[in-house]
Amino acid sequence: MPDYMIELRNVTKRYGRIVANDHINLGIRRGELMTLLGPSGCGKTTALRCITGHNIPDEGRVFIDGKDVTDVPTHKRELGMVFQNFALFPHMTVADNVGFPLMIRGLPKAERQKRVMEALRLIRMEEYADHYPRQISGGQQQRVGLARALVYRPKVLLLDEPLSNLDAKLREEMRFEIRDLIDRLGITAVYVTHDQAEALALSDRVAVMNAGRIEQVGTPDEIYDSPQSRFVADFIGLSDFLEGTVVAVHAPQGTAVIRVEGLELYVPVRQDMSPGRSILLFIRPNDIELLPASAEDNANAFPGVVHKKTYLGDRNDYRVLVGEGLELRVQTDGKVRFEEGERVKVHLPVAHCRVIVE
Ligand code: ATP
């Protein structure tokens, strides 16, 4: 039995006819940062609120540190929380803001001061103790929010889109700060976001949610490299999807041949492949190679025409027409350049053509 700090067992939460969480099972290990990732409305916040106690599930149970807390009120669950629209009290100093949760818990002043300074040290803001929120930057306010959530040494930290009010550059910096802070504390954390880059950069594991259900749980690598459904492959990173039929299986060579829109494509063989079977493949646009039309003929290299080109700074993004009406999205680094209308050769390396079994 794994040692989970937080566990959702068969949790279902409905709002009228909407099933916001549909029989969710999720175990979050001690010291792990687990991200709930998915599009707007998929049920991330609802699941988090089942952990905090702001939602009572209609079915299922919630465990924290081995204890069934389904019926325990929020303030008795020993949680630290930072929410999307969190606000510091404008008329209180940074130190008083951070110490506020201790004051309402009635801790003596000396103990409060000690813990506040400890929390400010954690976020490297001791020298701002006497500043007011309007005198510090957005990123610093966010760090103070974190210190306030951590000051009473909670068992777990819950963060719901905590960076969504920051600009893109600051968001990126804060990701590293949060990760670093959680590593130093060794605390268990649950992080909610719809931003896949944030999830991949921050998390030990990611739970990808769709329409109230968990589609896949895995490390960032597993989620990106081995998505188990079209939804996950589509939501995490960019993908070209190819629907085809198995034509031949060459087990000794480790390949199978798939027919897709008049093309014959070699892919790594799988046990469940047999001629005639329909298959869904995906390949990442940056794993496809774009070569001059004169390039040597090769397995999985097909003639094509650049239909559209978009300049993205460090990369170029191409739409290339191949075979009988297949449009592939291809991304190359900035050095590889082709023009719209140019004839090219498109190479889909065998190892990068991956099969999704749904
Ligand atoms: P977002 O990223 O937009 O915050 P989310 O993934 O966190 O979305 P939830 O807020 O959990 O999604 O919402 C899941 C579903 O439940 C949505 O269809 C939403 O409209 C519905 N819902 C959430 N809270 C309530 C509520 N208090 N009353 C009625 N419906 C709700």
Structural domain range at position 288:
240-356
Neighbour-count burial of 73, counting CB atoms closer than 10 A to its CB (0-12 exposed, 13-18 middle, 19+ buried): exposed
Centre of ligand 1 from the C-alpha of residue 261, in Å? 40
Does 246 lie in the same domain as 190?
no
| Closest ligand 1 atom to 194 CA | 2
Our count of domains for the chain comes to: 2
Beta strands 263-268 and 301-311: pairing type?
Answer: unpaired
Task: Return the pLDDT at 172.
Answer: 86
The per-residue DSSP string of 324-335 comes to: TTEEEEEEEETT
CA distances from 305 to 38, 78, 260 (A): 35, 60, 17
At a CB cut-off of 8 Å and minimum separation 6, what does 179 contact?
33, 201, 202
Beta bridge partners of 266: 257
> Which residues line the pocket of ligand 1, CB cutoff 6 A?
15, 18, 20, 38, 40-46, 194
Same domain, 352 and 216: no
Confidence (pLDDT) at 349: 96
Instruction: Give the angle 22-28-33 at the CA atoms, nearest 5°.
Output: 115
Residue nearest to ligand 1 atom 16, measured at CA: 20
Q: Does 290 lie in the same domain as 147?
A: no
Angle between helices 109-122 and 94-104 (to 10 degrees): 130
Per-residue pLDDT of the chain (358 residues), as tens digits, is 568 999 999 999 999 999 999 999 999 999 999 999 999 999 999 999 999 999 999 999 999 999 999 999 998 998 998 887 678 899 999 999 999 989 988 899 999 999 999 999 888 889 999 999 999 988 888 889 989 998 988 889 999 988 887 788 878 888 888 898 889 889 999 999 999 999 999 999 999 999 999 999 999 999 998 899 999 999 999 999 999 999 999 988 899 999 998 899 999 998 888 899 999 999 999 999 999 999 988 889 999 999 999 988 889 999 999 988 899 999 998 777 899 999 999 999 999 999 886 5
Q: What CATH number corresponds to the domain at position 214?
A: 3.40.50.300
The confidence score (pLDDT) of residue 66 equals 93
Nearest atom in ligand 1 to 45's CA: 7
Give yes or no: residues 198 and 246 share one domain. Answer: no
Do 317 and 273 reside in the same domain of the chain? yes
Nearest atom in ligand 1 to 192's CA? 7
Same domain, 88 and 119: yes
Give 212 Cα–ligand 1 centroid separation in angstroms. Answer: 9
In this structure, the answer to whether residues 228 and 263 fall within a common structural domain is: no
Distance 41 CA to ligand 1 centre (A): 5
Separation of CA 217 and ligand 1 centre (Å): 21
Last residue within a domain, chosen from 235, 258, 289: 235
- Residue 86: the pLDDT is 72
Give the end of a domain, one of 210, 235, 260: 235
Tell me which residue has its CA closest to atom 26 in ligand 1.
15
The answer to whether the beta carbons of residues 330 and 356 sit under 8 Å apart is no
Helix (H) or strand (E) holding 266: strand 263-268
For ligand 1, the distance from its centroid to the CA atom of residue 161, given in whole angstroms, is 14
Residues 269 and 225 in one domain: no
Same domain, 76 and 212: yes
Q: Which of 37, 44, 56 to mutate to test the pocket of ligand 1 (most atoms within 8 A of CB)?
A: 44
Of 235, 267, 296, the one marking the end of a domain is 235
Residue in the structure block whose two tokens are 């290299």: 301
